[in-house]
């Protein structure tokens, strides 16, 4: 009798895991089918760190007793270029190397390129079963992964089948990225004011919210596989330079002049002995017209002088002005 009850509980658990419903990913950039009862739970962060913006990263969690299923999704802020079909298997190969197991690569429909581990890495607490890139109908790329904990992995065939169903259900959502040239309005934690930055075509932004600070991330949507270009803007009371965390034996540090808030400012320019041409740029300063407690730490960098000049030109447009009416926070207010 006890054996029968255990079997019934076991089968009921499977039924609940296979009963799927549709949820949004990345603030409605994608939709995906996951077990009913799945919750959107951001990754845990320390009190000194900010959660990733939901427009950049989504974490969905399903729990059934001791079994746990996690779906992770990332907006890559990349678009598929002419060589995407050749580049995406290479990206899956790099991903497989980080998981210490080769992937079998296949496609689902026209938009999903799927990597399935030959042998799931059971040494991990989160065991990867599916790694996928989604080619959105607007040309951009998102990344999705399905993980199971060791307790769920005790039924590997079921994990593999469920993971494939979940990934195969991915569809484009209703929200698109606003990539038009124009002003982006960044919250400065003051009810009456905002920081306005003018960006070229092809740029978007997200906002990470900490306990008492914000980090805005302005990012260029470039071709898949190409170097990134971004500008970070911290707003808070306790900024810290990135270059100060680099070992002095490898740090190469200097300064350069560049405009900010309409005035020439001195920025730190830094690299390391093995940075291969990349140099970081950062500055910590007060915010004009705002309480002295609040500071901004602006940081960026590039692989060559031309790129660094372009990034400094963008952030030189920053100005503090009265808050625009009906401006939302993060990409929720900028993207439609």
What is the per-residue pLDDT across 154-178, written as a single tens digit (0 to 9) for each?
A: 999 999 999 999 999 999 999 999 9
Can you give the pTM of this predicted structure? 0.87
Same domain, 36 and 168: yes
DSSP-derived letter for residue 275 is S
Instruction: Quickly state the pLDDT bin for 44 (edges 50, 70, 90).
Output: confident
Q: Please tell me whether residues 156 and 212 are part of one structural domain.
A: no
12-31 per-position pLDDT tens digit:
444 457 899 999 999 999 99
CA-based torsion, 91, 96, 102, 107: positive or negative: negative
Question: Based on the domain organization, do 41 and 133 belong to the same domain?
Answer: yes
Count of residues making up the chain: 336
- Within 10 angstroms of residue 269's Cβ, the number of other Cβ atoms is 18
253-279 residue pLDDT tens:
999 999 999 999 999 999 999 988 899
> Are 95 and 210 contained in the same domain?
no
Q: Which helix (H) or strand (E) holds 209?
A: strand 203-209
Say if residue 135 is in the same domain as residue 235.
Answer: no
Tally the domains of the chain: 2
Tell me if 177 is assigned to some domain: no
CATH number at residue 47: 3.40.1000.10
Domain residue limits at 258: 182-334
Give the pLDDT of residue 6. 45
Cα–Cα distance list, 236 to 109, 147, 230 (Å): 46, 35, 20
């Amino acid at each position: 009798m006890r054996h029968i009850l255990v079997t019934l509980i076991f089968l009921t658990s499977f039924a609940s895991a296979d009963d799927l419903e549709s949820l949004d990913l990345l603030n409605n950039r994608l939709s995906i089918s996951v077990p009913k009862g799945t919750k959107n739970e951001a990754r845990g962060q320390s009190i000194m760190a900010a959660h990733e913006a939901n427009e950049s990263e989504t974490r969905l969690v399903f729990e059934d007793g001791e079994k746990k299923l996690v779906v992770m999704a990332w907006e890559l802020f990349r678009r598929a270029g002419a060589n995407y079909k050749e580049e995406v298997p290479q990206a899956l190969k790099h991903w497989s190397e980080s998981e210490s197991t080769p992937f079998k690569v296949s496609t689902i429909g026209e938009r999903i390129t799927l990597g399935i581990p030959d042998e799931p890495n059971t040494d991990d607490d989160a065991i990867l079963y599916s790694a996928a890139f989604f080619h959105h109908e607007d040309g951009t790329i998102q990344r999705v992964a399905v993980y199971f904990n060791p307790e769920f992995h005790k039924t590997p065939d079921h994990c593999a089948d469920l993971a494939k169903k979940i990934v195969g259900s991915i569809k484009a959502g209703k929200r698109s990225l606003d990539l038009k040239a124009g002003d982006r309005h960044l919250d400065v934690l003051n009810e009456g004011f905002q920081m306005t930055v003018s960006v070229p075509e092809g740029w978007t932004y997200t906002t990470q919210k900490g306990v008492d600070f914000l980090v805005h991330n302005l990012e260029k949507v470039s071709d898949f596989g190409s170097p990134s270009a971004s500008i970070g803007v911290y707003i808070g009371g306790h900024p810290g330079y990135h270059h100060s965390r680099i070992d002095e034996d490898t740090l190469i540090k200097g300064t350069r002049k560049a405009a900010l808030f309409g005035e020439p400012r001195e920025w730190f320019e830094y690299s390391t002995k093995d940075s291969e041409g990349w140099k970081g740029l950062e500055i910590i300063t007060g915010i004009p017209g705002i309480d002295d407690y609040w500071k901004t730490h602006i940081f960026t960098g590039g692989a060559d002088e031309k790129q660094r000049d372009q990034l400094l030109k963008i952030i030189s447009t920053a100005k503090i002005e009265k808050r625009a009416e009906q401006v939302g926070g993060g990409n929720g207010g900028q993207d439609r």
